[in-house]
Structure 1
């Protein structure tokens, strides 16, 4: 992101003179499974660590009475809180807001951040709520982009990306590597397991092997709940920074999400995360990243690379005769589970006997040793392997 030296100079001067403009952060303290007073108290505590921020709390009047270091907006329902919160965001009266049960449009989803238990390392989860796209693989690719945007806005210049070993992971990897070849800067992480690569295993989740863990939203939501509440029994989320800001190409405001089970430490963490996104100019980072992608023909690359998706497979609906059976001892890994059967059929169509199976690192295609090299070439030429 280009540095505006003039603005930076004036901001430093204002800061030295005590004139620095304070960030204004909103919090809706109604609709939680915990008392509203708990959320208001967490906001009050956050003002101590966010000395350059003003916190506006939307909540029941009874919950706001005892706190003097926050701006109070009495509301009687979450719907009323959302209405007033959005109005203040649109008018520029809030720089960011933290809420729950907020409906993002398709194309916007949230980037959570957790503390990984093995080494206490923060890790972004991309994504945790919302719908980035209606296609699974397209969604995971865009989740990766949103994760990069959040990480850069938080101050990580070259964040590492890992892709959780799920349905669609290999297709996501292929498309992201195609983007990298076209010139988009992606720093792929390496699993801590001996097999290497950027496809992450459960061990990597615990260790925080990457800055950004790419997943589908439902899995990401589950991971957030596990990482946030595994020490409490599940009904009180005590760790991390919450479900994070909604990010997408057409985002207009900075809105971060909490769960109804989010406890005081997570509420405070979410407000700190919000302040970080404002300071890091999240909206501008998102605009710049999507400008780069669109100049590279991002949407055309997505459409082109997704042509081998299951729904468009050239062998899916064909009746292909299986070649004579052989003893298959060689594993070919790296094919997405969604494309396994099509990959097998592609080999059958070329006269190679193959079977699908499940290895210790994920799905594999099994072939005879004398067919392995030819099979790999066919699978690469057909787009099933990178």
Structure 2
């Protein structure tokens, strides 16, 4: 009887929170490490409060407190990281947003930006971490990771463009072989007159593809430039940060922002994490890896 009453109470609480935030269903629990920012702890707490208004239970790991956010007190950044990892391991939170994390080889992050020319969102695959020690293999995997992130965020048939960097043509060839063997991938067409799925700088600014595939170092620079272009570079003001670590068999949701990320970007990263939780990113990943392997991905 007590369990039934608890379920009823939780249901009514979720309904009340949904009416307040406009977001229904179980609220994702996302941790945020607040120490270490170049803009101070207050910047991170501001982000936590912004995201909490959108139906996310934010667990702020740091020294500040505020109504609407659960604070987990720690003395410094090192203790904060240990606490974050502990909360993830224990299942106390569904995911975490932090400024650095030692992802294993094979796992890298899919950033999400707002492009300046037309205000289109674009996923950048990838931005931190190492998908593979081999550059071409890494960019092929980055493509799969980008598709996973985009599909989980509601784009049923995302378009893929390959940035014109070293290895772009080899990556194109390999991806088209996967396509020929049954892997469902849709290539974008460059906005430049010569078209094709290899993207130029114009395509970056316009957000031509849903997913821009590149190596993680180039992707990292791309996110930094697009998110802080209007501020002079020291304050990342737009977008969703450097994204979640994705890799085959990896089921820990850790999102990356930078020390230069402003409150709007950190709040965006928390919302990005919540979207991935609500739409079951790990289930999407399993299905996508299975489809790619069936088509010959090694």
TM-score after normalising by structure 1: 0.71
Note the alpha carbon deviations across 1:187-231, whole angstroms, 9 max, x for none.
Answer: 000001111110001110111110000001110000011001111
Q: Secondary structure at the match of 1:177?
A: helix
C-alpha change, 1:43 and 1:127, in structure 2 (3 Å) is same
Of 15-24 and 108-117, more deviation after overlay is shown by 15-24
Aligned to 1:47: 52
Aligned partner of 1:58 among 61, 82, 91: 61
In structure 1, the residue matched to 2:40 is: 35
Aligned to 1:384: none
Q: Which residue of 2 aligns with 1:18?
A: 15
Deviations 1:341-375 (A, max 9, x none): xxxxxxxxxxxxxxxxxxxxxxxxxxxxxxxxxxx
* Map of 2:19 onto structure 1: none
Corresponding position of 2:163: 164
Query: Are 2:14 and 2:26, in contact at CA under 8 Å, matched by a contact in 1?
Result: no
Per the alignment, residue 3 of structure 2 pairs with none
Aligned residues: 282
SS at match of 2:129: strand
Distance of 1:73 and 1:28 partners within structure 2: 9
Secondary structure of residue in 2 paired with 1:112: strand
How much has 1:26 moved relative to structure 2? 0.6
Show the counterpart of 2:192: 193
Q: CA RMSD in A?
A: 1.7
CA distance in 2, matches of 1:181, 1:55: 44
Q: Mind listing any 5+ residue stretches in structure 1 that lack a counterpart?
A: 1-9, 300-386
**Cα deviations across residues 56-89 of structure 1 (Å, max 9, x unaligned)?**
0101x2xx13x11111111122222121111111
Runs of 4+ displaced beyond 6 Å:
none
Matched, 1:139 2:131: no
Secondary structure in 2 matching 1:298 = coil
Alignment of 1:235-254 (within 5 A): 235-254=234-253
SS at match of 1:147: helix
1 or 2 for the larger relative contact order (CA 8 Å, sep ≥6)?
2
Residue matched to 2:116: 117
Which structure's CA Rg is the greater one?
1
Secondary structure, counterpart of 2:43 in structure 1: helix
Compared CA separation, residues 17 and 216, structure 1 to 2 (3 A): closer
1:144-163 deviations in whole A, cap 9, x for unaligned?
10000000000100000000
CA separation in 2, counterparts of 1:177 and 1:222? 27
Tell me what 1:375 maps to: none
Query: Which residue matches 1:259?
Result: 258
Q: Is the 8 A contact 2:181 2:296 kept in 1?
A: no
Name 1:128's counterpart in structure 2.
Answer: 127
Structure 2 unaligned regions, length at least 5: 1-6, 17-24
Match of 2:22 in 1: none
Q: Distance in 1 between matches of 2:240 and 2:193?
A: 31
Quote the offset at 1:44 in angstroms. Answer: 1.1
TM-score normalised by length of structure 2: 0.91
Structure 1: how far apart are the matches of 2:28 and 2:192? Answer: 43
CA distance in 1 between counterparts of 2:67 and 2:170 reads 53
Deviations, residues 131-182 of structure 1 (Å, cap 9, x unaligned): 0100111100100100000000001000000000111000000000000011
- Tell me the equivalent position of 1:223: 222
